[in-house]
Structure 1
Amino acid sequence: MSPGRRARPPKVGLFGLLGSGNLGNDGSLESVLKFLEDRYPDAVVDFLCAGPETVRERYGLDAERLHWNRGEYETASGIGSIARKGLGKLVDAARIARWVRRHDVVIVPGMGVLEATLPLRPWGFPYSLFLLTTSGRLFGTPVALVSVGANPLSHRATRIVFTTAARNAAYRSYRDEPSRDALRRMGVDTSGDRVYPDLVFSLPTPPAREAAPGTIGLGVMDYHGGNDDRARADEIHESYVAKIKDLVNRLLDAGHRIRLFTGDVSDEKVVRDIFAALADERPGLPPGAVVFDKAGSLAELMGQMSTVDAVVATRFHNVLCALKTGTPTISLGYATKNDVLMAQMGLGSDFCQTADGFTVDQLVKQLEELLRRADGVKATLADRGTKASLLLEEQFDVLSTRFFGGRE
Structure 2
Amino acid sequence: MRSPARVGVFGLLGSGNLGNDGSLEAVLGYLRTEHPGAVVDALCGGPEVVAARYRIPATRLHWNRGEYRTASRAGAVAAKGLGKVVDVFRTAAWVRRHDVVIVPGMGVLEATLPLRPWGFPYSLFLLCASGRLFGTRVALVGVGAGPIGNRPTRALVRWSARLAAYRSYRDTQSRDAMREMGVDTARDEVHPDLAFALTAPPSAPPGPPGPVCVGVMAFHGGNDDRARAEEIHRRYLDGTTRFVRALVQDGRPVRLLTGDACDVAVVDAILDAVDSPLVTAAGAASLADLMKETAAADAVVATRYHNLVCALKVGTPTLALSYAAKSDALMARMGLGAYCHPAREVDADRLVEQFRALEKRSAELRQTLAERNRLAARQLQDQFAALTAALFPTNDHPHARTRQETP
- Please give the range of the TM-score, normalised by the shorter of the 2 chains: over 0.9
In 1, Cα distance between equivalents of 2:390 and 2:328: 32
In 2, Cα distance between equivalents of 1:143 and 1:236: 37
Q: Structure 2, unaligned stretches of length 5 or more?
A: 398-407
- Return the letter of the residue paired with 1:226: G
1:70-117 CA distances to partner (integer Å, 9 max, x unpaired)?
Answer: 111112202111111110000100000000000010000000000100
Kept in 2, the 8 Å contact 1:143–1:169? The answer is: yes
1:54-65 matched pairs, under 5 angstroms: 54-65=49-60
In 2, Cα distance between equivalents of 1:113 and 1:88: 21
TM-score, scaled to structure 2: 0.95
> Does 2:287 align with 1:298?
yes
SS at 1:21 equivalent: coil
Deviation at 1:386?
1.2
Deviation at 1:235?
1.2
In 2, Cα distance between equivalents of 1:90 and 1:214: 53
Kept in 1, the 8 Å contact 2:7–2:41? The answer is: yes
Which of 27, 30, 49 is 2:22 aligned to?
27
TM-score, scaled to structure 1: 0.95
> Does 2:361 align with 1:373?
yes
Number of the residue aligned with 1:337: 326
Kept in 2, the 8 Å contact 1:259–1:292? The answer is: yes
1:1-400 matched pairs, under 5 angstroms: 7-209=2-204, 213-279=209-275, 285=276, 287=277, 289-348=278-337, 350-400=338-388
Kept in 2, the 8 Å contact 1:166–1:172? The answer is: yes
Deviation at 1:194?
0.8
Number of the residue aligned with 2:405: none
Kept in 1, the 8 Å contact 2:210–2:296? The answer is: no
In 1, Cα distance between equivalents of 2:225 and 2:169: 26
RMSD: 1.2
SS at 2:141 equivalent: strand
In 2, Cα distance between equivalents of 1:50 and 1:125: 10
SS at 1:37 equivalent: helix
Number of the residue aligned with 1:3: none
- Return the letter of the residue paired with 2:362: A
In 2, Cα distance between equivalents of 1:402 and 1:222: 38
In 1, Cα distance between equivalents of 2:79 and 2:339: 47
SS at 1:217 equivalent: strand
SS at 1:205 equivalent: coil
SS at 2:344 equivalent: coil
Identity of aligned residues (%): 57
Kept in 2, the 8 Å contact 1:212–1:307? The answer is: no
Shift of the 384–29 alpha-carbon distance from structure 1 to 2, 3 Å rule, reads: same
In 2, Cα distance between equivalents of 1:18 and 1:277: 33
In 1, Cα distance between equivalents of 2:100 and 2:94: 11
Deviation at 1:214?
4.9
Task: Return structure 1 stretches of 4+ with deviation > 2 angstroms.
Answer: 208-212, 405-408
Q: Structure 1, unaligned stretches of length 5 or more?
A: 1-5, 280-284
In 1, Cα distance between equivalents of 2:389 and 2:228: 48
Kept in 2, the 8 Å contact 1:209–1:304? The answer is: no
- Return the letter of the residue paired with 1:137: R
In 2, Cα distance between equivalents of 1:41 and 1:317: 27
Number of the residue aligned with 2:402: none
Deviation at 1:212?
5.1
- Return the letter of the residue paired with 2:378: L
| Number of positions where the alignment pairs a residue of Structure 1 with one of Structure 2 | 395
Deviation at 1:278?
2.7
In 2, Cα distance between equivalents of 1:372 and 1:57: 44
Deviation at 1:209?
3.9
SS at 1:151 equivalent: coil
SS at 1:291 equivalent: strand
Kept in 1, the 8 Å contact 2:166–2:390? The answer is: no
